[in-house]
Amino acid sequence: MSPPESVPSAMCSTLCLYGQGVVRGYAIGRAVVMSAASLEVAHYRIAEKDIESEQRRFTLAVDETVRELGQMAEDLPADAPRELGVLLSVHAMLLQDPMLVQSVCQLIAERQYNAEWALTAQGQILVEQFSLMDDAYLRERGADVRQVIERVLRVLSGSVHWLPNLDAVDVDGSLIVVARDISPADMMRLRGGRFGAFLTDLGGATSHTAIVARSMNVPAVVGMGLVRTLVRDGDRLIVDGLNGLVLVNPSEAVLREYQERQAAFLRERDELKALRFAPAVTLDGIQIRMEANIELPEEAADALAAGAEGIGLFRSEFLFMGRSSLPSEEEQYEAYASVVRTMAGRPVTIRTLDIGADKTLDGEVTVATNPALGLRAIRYCLANPEMFNTQLRALLRAAAHGPIRVLFPMVSHMHEIHAARRALARAAAELRTAGLPHDAAVQVGAMVEIPAIAIAIEPFAEALDFLSIGTNDLIQYVLAIDRGDTDVASLYDPMHPAVLRLIAHTINVGERLGKPVSICGEMAGDVRVTRMLLGLGLTGFSMHPQQLLDVKKEIRRAHSNALRVKVASALNRAERIDLSTLDA
Ligand code: PEP
Ligand code: MG
C-alpha cells in the first residue's frame, strides 16, 4: 500500500506502518503488545498411556473456556457494544462444535499429539476451509476459529496474564493495543480502559476488531501484517485511523503536528453533532435522502440517533448467520417489527436474504465452482421457496407496524422480479386466509449490483418502485475483481469510468421514470466521493450510521448542478474523474 498524501514531510526518519484504516480518528499513546498463545505453543508427542488424560486435559480446558465466555456474556454491562454479546455466543457455539472437539481428541489418540499441537493443527484445517468461502463476512469467521483456539490455548497453559503488565508501561495518556488479532472476548476486557486505538496484524473491514471498534468509535487499523513484530511495549505511537497509518516513535515536530490534527478532528466531531437534524440540502436546493445501513435490529437506534431519515439497507442475512437452525417466522417478524417501531414512521428497507452458495444454512460447507457467480441471494431464495415464504410473511406482518420496502438482492433477469413478486403475493394471500394482520402494499425494489441490470435498467425501473445500487458488488462484477481478494485489491477501483457510467445510467433512467435511486454500497459513506456522487445526480445515500454526518456536511456545502456539469463532461469522454477538480 502506498503512503497516504497526508503524511507530513518532516517525518522521513519515523517508522511508518500501513494497514486498513477501519475507524476514523487519531490516537496518540504508548503501545501495549498482546501475546499470541498460538505462536508460542509446545509441540510434542505423548506416550500411549497418557492419551486419555491428555484428551481429558483438553476437554476440561474447552469446558472452562465455554464457562468463561458464558460468564462474560452474562456480565456484559448495559452500555457494552451490542455486537459483543452476539460474538461471545458465536465463540461459545464454535467451541461446542463436534468438528472441533472430536477431531482434536482423535488427533491426540491417533497421532499422539499433545493437546496444544492437536488443537492448533485442527484449527488450521478449519481456518483454511473458511478462507475458501466467497463471502467476506463468512471468510472472516475463520478469525473466530483462530480466536477461540487462542483462548483454549491460554487456558491449557494456565496463563491468566494474557495482557502485558500494564503497570510496567509508564504512561499517563492512552494505551494503544497491538495484537495479532483481537477476539470479542478480549475486546470486552479492553473496553472501558484507557485504550485509544486498536492495531492488528490480521483482519479486514468486516473483522471483529473493525466491527466492535466501529461501534465503540475507537480508531483502528487492521491487516497490518507485522505490527506485532515491529512495535515494542512502551513505544510511542500515532494512529491515523482514516488513512490506516501508524507512526512509531515520532519526532517532537511530527507529534505536535498530529496533536493539532487530533484537536481539529475532535472539534469537527463536536460541530458535526449539530448537523444531526439539519436538512441534507445542497447549496442549490437539491434535497438529498440520507438513510442508514444496519445489520442487526438493535442498530436502528444508532441510525435514528445519527439523524437517518430511514433505513436504506437492513442486511437480513445477519439474522440467519452463526446459528444451526433457520430463524422462525415469529423471530423474523419480531426483528423486522422492532426496526420498524424504532424508526417510528420512517421507511425501513429490508433486503431479503443475501446468502452465498458457499455455505448452506445448516452450517454444512459446500464450495460451488465459483460461489460469487453461483446460487446466491435472490437465486438462492427462489430455489428455496419455503424458506423465502417464511421471510416474506414475516416482512409483510412487520409492515403492519409502519412503512417497509422489500429489496431483492443480486437480480439480473426480469423473470426473477416476476417470480419474487409472485412469492410476495403468495405470502400475502396466506396471511389474508389466516387472518393475520399485515400490509401487502409494501414497496418493492431491487439491488443494482450485477452489470446486466444496470446496462438494461429500463424494464426493471418500470417494474419496480425503487432501485438501490450495491456498488460493493457492482464494482467486483464490472472489473472482474473478487472484492475479498487482497492480491487484486489494488485493481478494485470505484472510480473506474465503466463503473461510474453504469451508476450514472441507472440514476438517469430512474430520474426519467420517476423511480427513486439510491446507493447503499460503501461508496455512499465515503466522504471523498460525495461531491462526485452528487455530480452523477445521486439524491439517495445509505451508509453506516457513523458516516452520516460527515457526508451530510459535504452535501450541504456542494452545488449539485455545477457538479453535474463537470462530472458529465468527464464521463462523456470516459475519462477518469480528477476528484480535486470537484472541490469547492
Ligand atoms: C453492495 O453490494 O454494495 C451491498 C450494499 O451489499 P453487500 O455489501 O451486502 O453485498
Ligand atoms: Mg451486494
Q: What are phi and psi of 450, to 5 degrees?
A: -110, 130
Q: At CB < 8 A and 24+ separation, what contacts does 457-462 make? A: 457/505, 457/506, 457/509, 457/510, 458/509, 458/513, 459/414, 460/411, 460/414, 460/417, 461/509, 461/510, 461/513, 461/515, 462/513
The answer on 379 and 435 residing in a single domain is yes
Q: Check residue 191 and give its pLDDT.
A: 62
Q: Which residues line ligand 1 (CB under 6 A)?
A: 313, 315, 354, 449, 470-473, 520-521
The answer on 139 and 87 residing in a single domain is yes
pLDDT by residue (tens digit) across 322-358? 677 899 999 999 999 999 999 999 999 999 999 874 4
259 falls within a domain: yes
42 falls within a domain: no
Ligand 1 centroid from CA 475, angstroms: 10
Residue 368 has pLDDT above 70, yes or no: no
Which residue puts its alpha carbon closest to atom 3 of ligand 1? 470
Which residue puts its alpha carbon closest to atom 6 of ligand 1? 470
Q: Is 208 a catalytic residue?
A: yes
- Tell me the residue range of the domain where 110 lies: 48-157
Boundary (domain end) residue, out of 243, 268, 293:
268
- CATH code, 213: 3.50.30.10
Ligand 2 centroid from CA 503, angstroms: 15
Q: Check residue 95 and give its pLDDT.
A: 85
Highest-pLDDT range among 255-269, 443-457, 486-500, 562-576: 443-457
Ligand 1: nearest atom to the Cα of 520? 5
Q: Binding site annotation covers 269?
A: no
Which residue puts its alpha carbon closest to atom 8 of ligand 1? 472
Residue 579 has pLDDT above 80, yes or no: yes
Q: Check residue 330 and give its pLDDT.
A: 97
Q: Check residue 175 and give its pLDDT.
A: 86
Q: Of residues 208, 401, 505, 544, which has the active-site annotation?
A: 208
Residue 59 has pLDDT above 60, yes or no: yes
From the list 200, 237, 201, the residue with the least C-alpha distance to 220 is 200
pLDDT by residue (tens digit) across 3-40? 445 555 555 567 899 998 988 899 999 988 887 665 56
Ligand 2 centroid from CA 262, angstroms: 34
- Can you say how many angstroms the Cα of residue 393 is from the centroid of all Cα atoms in its chain? 27
CB-based contact 529:496 (threshold 8 Å): no
Which residue puts its alpha carbon closest to atom 9 of ligand 1? 315
Of 76-85, 103-112, 201-210, the range with the lowest mean pLDDT is: 76-85
pLDDT by residue (tens digit) across 120-157? 888 888 888 877 776 776 777 777 788 888 888 888 87
Boundary (domain end) residue, out of 222, 252, 268:
268
Q: Check residue 160 and give its pLDDT.
A: 47
DSSP 70: H
Q: Check residue 361 and give its pLDDT.
A: 57
The residue with greater pLDDT, 370 or 338, is 338
Q: Check residue 132 and give its pLDDT.
A: 77
552: cell is 451530510
239 falls within a domain: yes
DSSP 488: G
The answer on 427 and 468 residing in a single domain is yes
pLDDT category of residue 1 using cuts at 50, 70 and 90:
very low
The answer on 377 and 321 residing in a single domain is yes
Which residue puts its alpha carbon closest to atom 7 of ligand 1? 472
Q: Binding site annotation covers 236?
A: no
300: cell is 436502528
Residue 583 has pLDDT above 90, yes or no: no
pLDDT category of residue 2 using cuts at 50, 70 and 90:
very low
Ligand 1: nearest atom to the Cα of 469? 3
Q: Check residue 80 and give its pLDDT.
A: 67
Q: Of residues 91, 105, 381, 520, which has the active-site annotation?
A: 520
Ligand 1: nearest atom to the Cα of 473? 2
- Can you say how many angstroms the Cα of residue 69 is from the centroid of all Cα atoms in its chain? 23
The answer on 448 and 539 residing in a single domain is yes
DSSP 281: B
CA separation for the pair 456, 472 (Å, rounded): 19
Q: Check residue 489 and give its pLDDT.
A: 77
The residue with greater pLDDT, 246 or 166, is 246
Q: Check residue 139 and give its pLDDT.
A: 73
The chain-wide mean pLDDT, for the chain, equals 87
Q: Check residue 129 and give its pLDDT.
A: 81
The answer on 88 and 217 residing in a single domain is no
Q: Binding site annotation covers 472?
A: yes
Q: Check residue 161 and give its pLDDT.
A: 44
Ligand 1: nearest atom to the Cα of 522? 3
487: cell is 492480491
- Can you say how many angstroms the Cα of residue 303 is from the centroid of all Cα atoms in its chain? 15
Closest ligand to 410 CA? 2
Pocket test for ligand 1, best of 468, 520, 522, 544 (most atoms within 8 A of CB): 520
The answer on 243 and 295 residing in a single domain is no
Closest ligand to 470 CA? 1
Q: The sheet that has 220-222: what strands, in order across it? A: 15-18, 245-248, 236-240, 26-33, 174-179, 195-200, 220-222, 20-23
Find the mean pLDDT for residues 424-453. Answer: 98
pLDDT by residue (tens digit) across 384-397? 999 999 999 999 99
509 falls within a domain: yes
The answer on 250 and 317 residing in a single domain is no
- CATH code, 283: 3.20.20.60
- CATH code, 94: 1.10.274.10
Residue 238 has pLDDT above 50, yes or no: yes
| CA angle at 350 for the pair 211 and 428, rounded to the nearest 5° | 150
Boundary (domain end) residue, out of 268, 285, 313:
268
172 falls within a domain: no
Closest ligand to 543 CA? 1
Question: By three-state DSSP, how is residue 36 classified?
Answer: coil
Q: Check residue 168 and give its pLDDT.
A: 47
Q: Binding site annotation covers 315?
A: yes
What is the gyration radius of the CA atoms in the chain, in angstroms?
A: 25
Ligand 2 centroid from CA 252, angstroms: 45
169 falls within a domain: no
Contact residues for 357 (Cβ-Cβ < 8 A; gap 6+): 134, 366, 368, 371, 374, 375, 376, 380
Task: Say if strands 26-33 and 174-179 run parallel, antiparallel, or are unpaired.
Answer: parallel
Of 81-85, 178-182, 202-206, 507-511, the range with the lowest mean pLDDT is: 81-85
Ligand 1 centroid from CA 26, angstroms: 28
Residue 367 has pLDDT above 60, yes or no: no
- Give the number of other Cβ atoms within 10 Å of residue 90's Cβ: 19
Q: Binding site annotation covers 74?
A: no
Find the mean pLDDT for residues 174-195. Answer: 76
The residue with greater pLDDT, 227 or 469, is 469
Q: Check residue 508 and give its pLDDT.
A: 98
pLDDT by residue (tens digit) across 32-47? 888 766 556 677 888 8
Share of the chain above pLDDT 90, in %: 56
The answer on 303 and 434 residing in a single domain is yes
From the list 260, 228, 272, the residue with the least C-alpha distance to 246 is 228
The residue with greater pLDDT, 432 or 364, is 432
Q: Binding site annotation covers 139?
A: no
From the list 124, 180, 146, 150, the residue with the least C-alpha distance to 68 is 150
The answer on 313 and 250 residing in a single domain is no
138 falls within a domain: yes
pLDDT category of residue 512 using cuts at 50, 70 and 90:
very high
Q: Check residue 418 and give its pLDDT.
A: 98
- Give the number of other Cβ atoms within 10 Å of residue 268's Cβ: 12
Task: List beta partners, residue 444.
Answer: 406
Ligand 1 centroid from CA 14, angstroms: 38
Find the mean pLDDT for residues 499-520. Answer: 98
pLDDT by residue (tens digit) across 251-281? 999 999 999 999 999 998 888 888 998 999 9
Count of structural domains, the chain:
3
The residue with greater pLDDT, 558 or 322, is 558
Closest ligand to 135 CA? 1
Ligand 1 centroid from CA 352, angstroms: 12
Which residue puts its alpha carbon closest to atom 1 of ligand 1? 470
Contact residues for 444 (Cβ-Cβ < 8 A; gap 6+): 405, 406, 408, 420, 421, 424, 464, 465
Q: Check residue 419 and give its pLDDT.
A: 98
- Cβ burial, residue 236 (10 Å; 0-12/13-18/19+): middle
3 falls within a domain: no
The answer on 255 and 151 residing in a single domain is no
- How many CA atoms within 13 Å lie on the side-chain side of 407? 31
The answer on 217 and 365 residing in a single domain is no
Which residue puts its alpha carbon closest to atom 4 of ligand 1? 470
